[in-house]
């Protein structure tokens, strides 16, 4: 009874099945006696309707998810007024049965129906009833209308299409196909997988003929609705091929730039191909590293076909000997044992392409080797072929042209293990997946962020130049998919979590290798029969007179020449009950949790060690930390790296969790100062204000990011940094210019160093990355919640903003950092100081006060004040000379008793440096930041830990009805050592950007107050 | 045929070459040292004897050529893998002539000969480490990128990764294979660095055996049908500490081979022979 849909996949599969079933039954009906069927159908219908009504009453609302499916069924039935009803219903029942009971029954059912055994039909009815109950009320209205409703139907269908759930589409499309191909001599069940034909449907969607070139060179033609999604076609092809382990495969097409692209199963075909050329090819998309682990021979056979082609075309280079060896296995698989009495075997050999530079010598060698394979079955020969092919160094490597940072031509190879870099034929670098923290692209640049090695303190980002934006994106997608497929247990959900994210949200949507392995381990059908079509090809090339007969134990010795085309109407496959069974068994599979297949590379192990190191480090005293940081090269903030390392090395699950983890490890104290920078009196106070605003017009094209960093020290220095970037954000991910992907599911916490190229872009990227990280590390005790809160709030804001399509500005964060001690260098050279500064932060740490959780209204007040002069709040900060005494007071409040020490120390301090650095986006003005607006909302969230973060959200309405949200974040970091403003800044920016990717950082102010204490370490 | 990449370190033949008198005076060396010609010859004879008797290889002995003082170090003249032999273009100009005789010998063994004709390419066999699954090529003073590319072209089945060399003469000056998936590596910083690079570049996992002395890390590993793992390594006399490490290898037949004179000319154990497997090749 309980037809519960577990996952999308399941739904899909069910849909498939049901479709199949319905086909089956329909066919049966046709084949047998239509009249009877129709009669029965009518009867049933009436009954059904009654039942439906009952059910309706029973279940107020059914499983909405089933709706589309049911609708489809219905529509299908509608297609052929007389008889359809019955079949459809049956289909449903069958499906149900599949789920609930033993598969064989299903078939039985179909047959029974055919035979019209009264008793059985009754059963069927009952089942139908059940299914209906499941189906829920929603379905009913539609069904009731059935009789007359062709128009309705079409309308519905359109709706469904728009709904865009693959499942629905599948169904529908199948119908569509039915329409197109309907008829044909069906052999009952036999045809299920092979030819999709059946009912002629009267309602029309626009149908398009798709041509899919299979790996054996044959064309498969089928009609799909114009708005069909990729997966519909893909499933169609798999069905045709009788392929269950389909996750290794995909459909590709040639785009308008002559580039081969993978058809995204989740998107409409039409939108992807962007042309009228509905021509695809069916290929291996993910080369299984160990083909022997595949479950079915047919899968291995298809993989062989792909590899033969790869080898023959030179895409998969191999030596003469290997060519010969692989060729000999091909011969054995296709032609069986070498027959010595066969005349001129070379004749047919030369018909087959084994290698790009095939010659007589090679063919002789192939023959010679072929002789040695005597007795080998085709399946064994295939397996041998694969065993050898998989060892080739370029096996499964997808190459992309690129240039390195110096403009040197290289190739980037994506494979199961990671990313390979080739110069000519030489491998010059390799980045294993575990080594990669982030993959992103921006325009025609492709970046990977690398986890630091054992000896390195910082992660680095490596950039490559692709030919153009499209190729950069294509490469990025391939990376995302390969990583997901080979390294994840389950596909990463699309990036819904992050609202208004810039760039593509593309994620791999299929099953991962781990999942597909589990799924295929449950395949329980007798080995399907399949034709080795390349032998077919050969025979054709030999004037259709196949000289050689296949001796294939596994293959029932079917004669190749009997088969004409893949799309021929003759069904070659026997669909035994077992098949159905298998299908049903397979469908409900879902993989949870555990690592089923994890490949560890050397690097990974190294990382592991490293992690331990890090842990140790962590446990080590703060001073040690400090030391290590000081040793570290200046450019990027070291602490973050360490966090990140740890994070990434542990298979973190969700971002939030990670954040928590991060938090735990952070040893920095945060104090939330709700107030303006100027007030931060304490010596060694660094305030970083990050204001981000993202004015989104309707077009939402421009993003301005401004960063202001103010550093207050005894000496107040203001530095303004402006990073302005313009980016076009298009609604469709396809056209987006950038995207990023964090292979390790981790939040990247550290500073990104972006290699040369565009400075601007680099910065932006960096910012983005940073956002989340920032928040994470700083929140100490209740981090997760706070962060969540913040996110939610901001999200809310965002949404409202979205709806209105208004521009929003967010001021993100004021960061205040307190460093009790300052290093001499710090003032002048931020970079240098940064390391130390961070260290310094640590010790003070715990002083953090209860400010944390307060989400302060008062802040709002403050915020509102700030807003009017949005762009320049920091200036104020800067100008303010630190009032030492006042600050002291504040601090003491903020910091618990623990701080007393510090306070004491600080008192004597005479020399104070205040530094304020403000970074402003150059385009700030252009964005109309200056425009006064009406304050709509203002919220402040304060979180506390080592650092204190105050976040203020301000939404106001600007002229033109646009609303603007500003998030202001203030972070106070206190430490008795030196604080690195640069790092603080970087962190603040990062954080801001990550948290609010859609917003731009308009201003960052770092206010740093340092006591030039006599007492130096 | 067992198939691709089967039978690592199974050899049937070896090509060696005699020591010319000119060796003592004219052979290239990185440090000034006097070589005792007689000792060197005796050493080499012992070495060849081990190949012949202990390993049971068919040893092809090429005559020494006085005009080629370094000719005894045949490894640099050719890289043989499977039934393909790449005749190199040695980085030291004075050694280019060494390849002639080598080519002839390899041809006689019915190997597929690939010649490095590109004048921009240089490659010393000593920079080439074949692990059984892939090649690593040290980019040194003697070997350049182009040379490595040609090698990659000659052995298409395998990944060829480059390893920048900073100090040592050759890649194999501080490492060699000690078994299937086992890399013997010196403990110097350049050696360790190179190992890191190799590990990073590889899709495969290797165990490592670290020995205190870089030079001791150059061994000859052979997998003999009747003896199993056989390792020719330095003598305790030369590198006592490293020798102790080798002695910990289980299930190995260890054969210490003296190399005291040739090492003065930067000649390690692998340098003095080219090992070939003719059996597996159809």
* Residues A913-923 pLDDT 10s: 444 444 444 43
Question: How far, CA to CA in Å, does A329 sit from each of A308, A326, A377, A552, B133?
Answer: 10, 5, 10, 13, 22
pLDDT at A800: 42
Nearest by CB: A317 against B145, B156, B281: B156
CA atoms within 13 A on the CB side of A793: 23
Give the gyration radius of chain B's Cα atoms.
17
> Could you give the 3-state DSSP secondary structure of residue A411?
strand
pLDDT of residue A669: 25
Give the model's pLDDT for residue A69: 40
The answer to whether A672 and A894 have CB atoms below 8 angstroms apart is yes
pLDDT tops 80 at residue A760: no
Q: Which of A368, A425, A602 sits opposite B153 (nearest CB)?
A: A425
- What mean pLDDT comes out for the span A351-360? 84
Residue identified by tokens 């041509």 is A211
Over residues A386-434, the pLDDT tens digits come to 999 999 999 999 999 999 988 999 999 999 999 999 998 899 999 999 9
Task: State yes or no: pLDDT of A2 exceeds 70.
Answer: no
B85-107 per-residue burial string, b: 16 or more CB within 10 A, e: under 16: bbbbbbbeeebeebbebbbebbe
Task: Look at strands A260-262 and A249-254 and give their pairing.
Answer: antiparallel
Q: In what order do the strands lie in the sheet with A398-403?
A: A738-741, A436-442, A445-450, A460-465, A398-403, A409-414, A418-423, A426-432, B159-164, B134-139, B128-130
Helical spans, DSSP H, in A372-452:
378-389
Backbone angles phi, psi at A211, to 5 degrees: -115, 120
- Measure the CA–CA gap between A453 and B181, rounded to whole angstroms: 23
% of chain A beyond a pLDDT of 70: 30
Give CA–CA dist A435/A685, Å, rounded: 36
Contact in structure between A902 and A1004 (CB atoms under 8 Å): no
As a whole number, mean pLDDT of residues B158-179 equals 92
Question: CA angle, A208 as apex, A202 and A211 as ends, to 5°?
Answer: 130
Mutate one of B128, B157, B198 to test the A interface: name it (highest A CB count within 10 A).
B157
pLDDT higher than threshold 70 for residue B74: yes
**DSSP structural state of residue A571:** -
- Mean pLDDT, residues A884-904 taken together: 31
Tell me which of A61-65, A816-820, B200-204 is least confident: A816-820
Catalytic residues of B: 170, 271
Q: What is the pLDDT of residue A799?
A: 46
pLDDT of residue A983: 65
- Distance between CA atoms of residues B160 and B86, nearest Å: 14
Q: Do A320 and B112 touch (CB under 8 A)?
A: yes
Interface test with B, best of A388, A418, A428, A450 (most B CBs within 10 A): A428
* Contact yes or no for B84 and A320 at CB 8 A: yes
Residue A873 pLDDT grade (very low, low, confident, very high; cuts 50, 70, 90): very low
Is the four-CA dihedral A586, A589, A595, A601 of positive or negative sign? positive
For residues A980 and A915, give the distance between their C-alpha atoms in angstroms, rounded to a whole number. 11
Q: Can you say whether the dihedral through the CA atoms of A473, A474, A477, A479 is positive or negative?
A: negative
Which of A912-916, B63-67, B245-249 has the least mean pLDDT?
Answer: A912-916
Of A393-402, A482-491, A761-770, B66-75, which gets the smallest average pLDDT? A761-770
**Which position has the higher pLDDT, A840 or B50?**
B50
pLDDT of B265 higher than 90? no
d(CA A369, nearest CA chain B) in Å = 8
Among B2, B4, B132, B154, most A C-beta atoms within 10 A, so best to mutate, is B4
* pLDDT band at residue A759 using 50, 70 and 90 as cut-offs: very low
| Residues A11-33: tens digit of each pLDDT | 444 444 444 444 444 444 444 44
User: Looking at residues A890-918, what average pLDDT do you find?
Assistant: 36
For residues A803-829, give the mean pLDDT.
Answer: 36
Token pair of A103 as six digits? 């598969």
pLDDT of residue A334: 86
A542-559 per-residue burial string, b: 16 or more CB within 10 A, e: under 16: eeeebbbebebebbeeee
Q: Is A601 left (phi over 0), alpha (psi -120 to 50) or beta?
A: beta
- Show the tokens assigned to B179: 């078994």
Evaluate if pTM is beyond 0.90.
no
Cα distance from N-terminal residue to C-terminal residue, chain B? 7
Q: Where are the alpha helices (DSSP H) in A242-359?
A: 269-273, 297-313, 320-335, 345-349
Task: Tell me the CA end-to-end span of chain A in Å, nearest whole number.
Answer: 74
Residues A106-133, mean pLDDT to the nearest whole number: 42
Structure tokens that stand for A260 in this block: 């081969």
A448 in contact with chain B, both atoms CB, cutoff 8 A: no
Of A143-157, A596-610, A616-630, least confident by mean pLDDT is A596-610
Contact of A365 with chain B, judged by CB distance below 8 Å, is answered with: yes
Q: How confident is the model at residue A973 (pLDDT cuts 50, 70, 90)?
A: low
Question: What is the rounded distance in angstroms from the CA atom of residue A755 to the CA atom of residue A455?
Answer: 20
Token digits of residue A902: 């510090």
**pLDDT for residue A275:** 76
Question: Does B153 touch chain A if contact means CB atoms closer than 8 Å?
Answer: yes
Please report the pLDDT score of residue A986 as a whole number: 67
Backbone region of residue A404 per phi and psi (left: phi > 0; alpha: psi in -120 to 50; beta: other values):
beta
Q: What is the rounded CA–CA span in Å between residue B100 and residue A366? A: 32
How many inter-chain contacts (A to B, CB under 8 Å) are there? Answer: 89
pLDDT band at A115 (very low <50, low <70, confident <90, very high): very low
A535: pLDDT strictly greater than 60? no
Is residue A959 within 8 A of residue A975, CB to CB? The reply is no
Give the separation between CA A170 and CA B58, rounded to whole angstroms.
67
**Rg, chain A, Cα only:** 33
C-alpha A114/C-alpha A131 separation (Å) is 20
DSSP A539: H
**pLDDT at residue A558, as a whole number:** 34
A653 touches chain B (CB under 8 A): no
Greatest mean pLDDT among A500-509, A657-666, A701-710, A933-942 lies in A500-509
Report the sign of the C-alpha dihedral through residues B266, B269, B270, B271, in that order.
positive
- What is the C-alpha separation between A917 and A708, in angstroms, rounded? 7
Sign of CA dihedral A848, A852, A858, A864: positive
Question: Beta partners for A966?
Answer: A954
Name the residue of chain A whose CA is nearest to B280's CA. Answer: A321
Specify binding-site residues of B for substrate.
Answer: 28, 70, 75-76, 95, 142, 265
Average pLDDT over chain A reads 55
**Range ranked top by mean pLDDT from A149-153, A362-366, A717-721:** A362-366
Alpha-carbon gap: A546 to the closest alpha carbon of chain B (Å): 30
Q: pLDDT band at A1000, cuts 50/70/90?
A: low
Q: Are A428 and B83 inside 8 Å of each other by CB?
A: no
Q: Supply the pLDDT for residue A445.
A: 93
> What pLDDT is attached to residue B186?
95
Cβ of A881 under 8 Å from any chain B Cβ?
Answer: no
- Asked if residue A968 lies in contact with residue A951, where contact means CB atoms within 8 angstroms, the answer is yes
Task: Compare A738 and A978 and report the one with higher pLDDT.
Answer: A738
Residue A332 to residue A753: CA distance in whole angstroms:
54
Q: CA of A601 to nearest chain B CA: how many angstroms apart?
A: 7
CA distance A103 to A581: 4
Rounded to the nearest angstrom, the minimum Cα separation between A440 and chain B is 22
* Interface membership of A361 toward B (CB under 8 Å): no
Query: Which tokens go with B65?
Result: 């050529």
Q: Quote the tokens at residue A900.
A: 């007393």
Most confident of the ranges A86-100, A137-151, A610-624, A988-1002: A988-1002
Helix (H, G, I), strand (E, B) or coil at A563: coil
Cα angle A488, A494, A500 (rounded to 5 degrees) comes to: 140
pLDDT at A861 over 70: no
- In 3D, which of A107, A84, A80, A86 has the Cα closest to residue A95? A107
Residue positions forming the annotated binding site of B: 28, 70, 75-76, 95, 142, 265
**Between β-strands B182-186 and B175-179, what pairing exists: parallel, antiparallel or unpaired?**
antiparallel
Query: In this predicted structure, what is the pLDDT of residue A490?
Result: 80
Highest mean pLDDT among A112-126, A519-533, A960-974, B145-159: B145-159
Which DSSP state fits B191? H
pLDDT of amino acid B58: 94
Residues of chain A contacting residue B160, judged by C-beta atoms under 8 Å apart: 393, 425-427
Lowest mean pLDDT across A233-242, A269-278, A300-309, B158-167: A269-278
Please state, for a pLDDT cut of 70, what percent of chain B lies above it: 97
Per the model's pLDDT, the better-predicted residue between A889 and A629 turns out to be A629
d(C-alpha A590, C-alpha A173), whole Å: 25
**CA–CA separation, A142 and A77 (whole Å):** 12
């Amino acid at each position: 009874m309980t037809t519960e849909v577990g996952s999308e996949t399941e739904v899909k599969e069910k849909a498939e099945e049901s479709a199949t079933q319905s086909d089956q039954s329909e066919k049966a009906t046709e084949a047998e006696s239509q009249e009877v069927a129709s009669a029965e159908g009518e009867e049933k219908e009436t009954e059904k309707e009654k039942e439906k009504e009952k059910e309706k009453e029973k279940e107020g609302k059914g499983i909405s998810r089933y709706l589309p499916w049911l609708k489809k069924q219905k529509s299908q039935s509608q297609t052929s007024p007389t008889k359809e009803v019955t079949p459809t219903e049956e289909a449903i029942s069958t499906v149900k049965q599949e789920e609930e009971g033993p598969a064989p029954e299903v078939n039985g059912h179909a047959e029974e129906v055919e035979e019209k055994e009264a008793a059985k039909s009754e059963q069927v009815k009952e089942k139908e009833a059940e299914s209906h109950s499941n189906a829920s009320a929603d379905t009913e209205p539609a069904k009731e209308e059935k009789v007359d409703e062709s128009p309705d139907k079409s309308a519905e269908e359109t709706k469904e299409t728009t709904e865009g759930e693959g499942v629905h589409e599948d169904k529908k499309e199948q119908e569509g196909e039915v329409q197109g191909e309907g008829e044909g001599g069906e052999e009952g069940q036999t045809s299920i997988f092979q030819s999709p034909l059946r009912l002629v449907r009267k309602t029309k969607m626009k149908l398009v003929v798709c041509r899919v070139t299979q790996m054996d060179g044959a064309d498969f033609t089928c009609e799909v609705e114009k708005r069909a999604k990729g997966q519909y076609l893909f499933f169609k092809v798999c069905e045709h091929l009788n392929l269950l382990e389909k996750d290794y495969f995909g459909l590709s097409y040639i785009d308008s730039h002559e580039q081969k692209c993978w058809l995204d199963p989740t998107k409409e075909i039409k939108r992807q191909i962007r042309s009228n050329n509905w021509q695809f090819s069916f290929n291996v998309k993910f080369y299984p590293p160990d083909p022997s682990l595949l479950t079915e021979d047919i899968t291995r056979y298809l993989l062989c076909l792909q590899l033969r082609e790869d080898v023959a075309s030179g895409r998969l280079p191999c030596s003469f000997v290997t060519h010969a060896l692989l060729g000999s296995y091909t011969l054995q698989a296709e032609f069986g044992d070498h027959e010595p009495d066969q005349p001129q075997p070379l004749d047919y050999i030369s018909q087959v392409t084994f290698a790009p530079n095939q010659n007589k010598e090679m063919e002789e060698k192939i023959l010679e080797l072929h002789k040695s394979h005597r007795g080998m079955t085709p399946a064994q020969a295939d397996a041998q072929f694969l065993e050898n092919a998989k060892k080739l160094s370029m096996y499964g490597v997808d190459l992309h042209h690129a240039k390195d940072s110096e403009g040197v031509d290289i190739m980037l190879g994506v494979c199961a293990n990671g990313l390979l870099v080739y110069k000519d034929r030489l491998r010059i670098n390799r980045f294993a997946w575990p080594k990669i923290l982030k993959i992103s692209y921006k325009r025609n640049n492709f970046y990977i962020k690398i986890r630091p090695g054992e000896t390195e303190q910082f992660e680095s980002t490596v950039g490559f130049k692709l030919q153009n934006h499209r190729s950069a994106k294509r490469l990025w997608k391939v990376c995302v998919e390969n990583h997901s497929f080979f390294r994840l247990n389950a596909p990463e959900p699309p990036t819904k979590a992050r609202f208004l994210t810039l760039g593509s949200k593309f994620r791999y949507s299929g099953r991962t290798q781990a999942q597909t392995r589990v799924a295929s381990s449950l395949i329980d059908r007798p080995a399907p029969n399949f034709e080795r079509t390349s032998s077919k090809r050969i025979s054709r090339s030999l004037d259709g007179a196949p000289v050689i007969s296949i001796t294939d134990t596994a293959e029932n010795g079917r004669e190749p020449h009997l088969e004409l085309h893949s799309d021929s109407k003759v069904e070659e496959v026997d669909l035994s009950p077992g098949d159905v069974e298998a299908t049903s068994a397979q469908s409900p599979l879902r993989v949870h949790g555990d690592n089923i297949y994890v490949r560890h590379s050397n690097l990974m192990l190294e990382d592991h060690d490293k992690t331990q190191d890090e842990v140790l480090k962590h446990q080590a005293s703060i001073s040690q930390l400090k030391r290590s940081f000081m040793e570290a090269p200046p450019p990027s903030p070291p602490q973050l790296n360490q966090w990140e390392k740890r994070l990434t090395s542990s298979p973190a699950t969700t971002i939030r969790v990670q954040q928590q983890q991060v938090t735990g490890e952070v040893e920095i104290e945060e104090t939330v100062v709700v107030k303006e920078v100027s007030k931060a009196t304490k010596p060694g106070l660094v305030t970083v204000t990050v204001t981000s605003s993202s004015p989104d017009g309707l077009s939402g094209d421009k993003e301005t990011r401004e960063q202001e960093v103010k550093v207050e020290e005894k000496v107040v220095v203001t530095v303004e940094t402006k990073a302005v970037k313009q980016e076009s954000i298009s609604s469709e991910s396809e056209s987006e210019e950038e995207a990023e992907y964090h292979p390790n599911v981790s939040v990247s916490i550290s500073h990104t160093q972006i290699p040369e190229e565009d400075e601007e872009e680099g910065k932006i990227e960096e910012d983005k990355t940073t956002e989340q990280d920032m928040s994470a590390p700083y929140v100490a005790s209740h981090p997760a919640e706070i962060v969540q809160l913040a996110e939610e709030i901001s999200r809310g804001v965002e949404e409202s903003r979205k709806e209105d399509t208004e521009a929003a500005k967010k001021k993100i964060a004021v960061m205040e950092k307190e460093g009790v001690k300052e290093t001499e260098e710090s003032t002048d050279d931020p970079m240098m100081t940064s390391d130390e500064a961070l260290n310094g932060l640590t010790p003070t740490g715990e002083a953090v006060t209860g400010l944390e959780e307060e989400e302060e209204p008062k802040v709002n007040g403050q915020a509102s004040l700030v807003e009017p002069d949005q762009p320049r709040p920091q200036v104020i900060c800067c100008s303010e000379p630190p009032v030492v005494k006042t600050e002291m007071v504040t601090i003491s409040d903020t910091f618990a008793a623990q701080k007393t020490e510090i306070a004491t120390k600080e008192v004597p301090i005479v020399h104070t440096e205040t530094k304020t650095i403000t970074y402003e986006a150059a385009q700030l003005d252009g964005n109309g930041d200056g425009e006064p607006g009406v304050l709509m909302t203002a919220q402040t969230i304060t979180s506390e830990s080592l650092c204190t973060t105050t976040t203020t959200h301000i939404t106001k309405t600007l002229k033109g009805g646009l609303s603007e949200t500003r998030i202001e974040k203030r972070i106070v970091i206190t430490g008795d050592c030196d604080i690195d403003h640069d790092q603080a800044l970087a962190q603040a920016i990062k954080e801001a950007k990550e948290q609010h990717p859609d917003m731009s950082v308009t201003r960052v102010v770092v206010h740093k107050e340092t006591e030039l204490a006599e007492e130096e370490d | 045929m067992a198939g691709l990449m089967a039978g690592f370190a199974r050899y049937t033949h070896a090509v060696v070459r005699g020591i010319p008198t000119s060796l003592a005076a004219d052979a290239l060396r990185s440090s000034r040292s006097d070589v005792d010609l007689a000792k060197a010859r005796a050493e080499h004879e012992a070495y060849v004897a081990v190949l012949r008797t202990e390993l049971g290889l068919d040893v092809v002995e090429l005559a020494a050529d006085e005009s080629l003082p370094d000719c005894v170090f045949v490894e640099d003249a050719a890289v043989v893998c499977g039934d393909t032999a790449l005749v190199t273009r040695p980085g030291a100009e004075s050694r280019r002539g060494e390849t002639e005789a080598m080519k002839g010998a390899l041809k006689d063994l019915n190997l597929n000969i690939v010649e490095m004709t590109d004048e921009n390419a240089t490659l010393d066999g000593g920079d080439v480490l074949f692990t059984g699954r892939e090649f690593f090529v040290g980019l040194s003073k003697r070997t350049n990128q182009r040379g490595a590319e040609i090698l990659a072209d000659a052995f298409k089945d395998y990944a060829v990764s480059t390893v920048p060399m900073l100090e040592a003469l050759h890649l194999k000056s501080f490492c060699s294979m000690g078994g299937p998936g086992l890399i013997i590596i010196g403990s110097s910083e350049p050696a360790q660095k190179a190992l890191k690079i190799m590990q990073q570049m590889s899709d495969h996992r290797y165990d490592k055996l670290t020995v205190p002395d870089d030079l001791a890390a150059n061994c000859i590993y052979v997998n003999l049908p009747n003896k199993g793992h056989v390792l020719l390594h330095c003598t305790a006399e030369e590198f006592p500490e490293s020798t102790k490490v080798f002695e910990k290898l289980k299930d190995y037949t260890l054969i210490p081979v003296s190399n005291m004179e040739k090492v003065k000319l930067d000649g390690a154990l692998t340098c003095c022979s080219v090992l070939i497997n003719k059996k597996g090749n159809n």
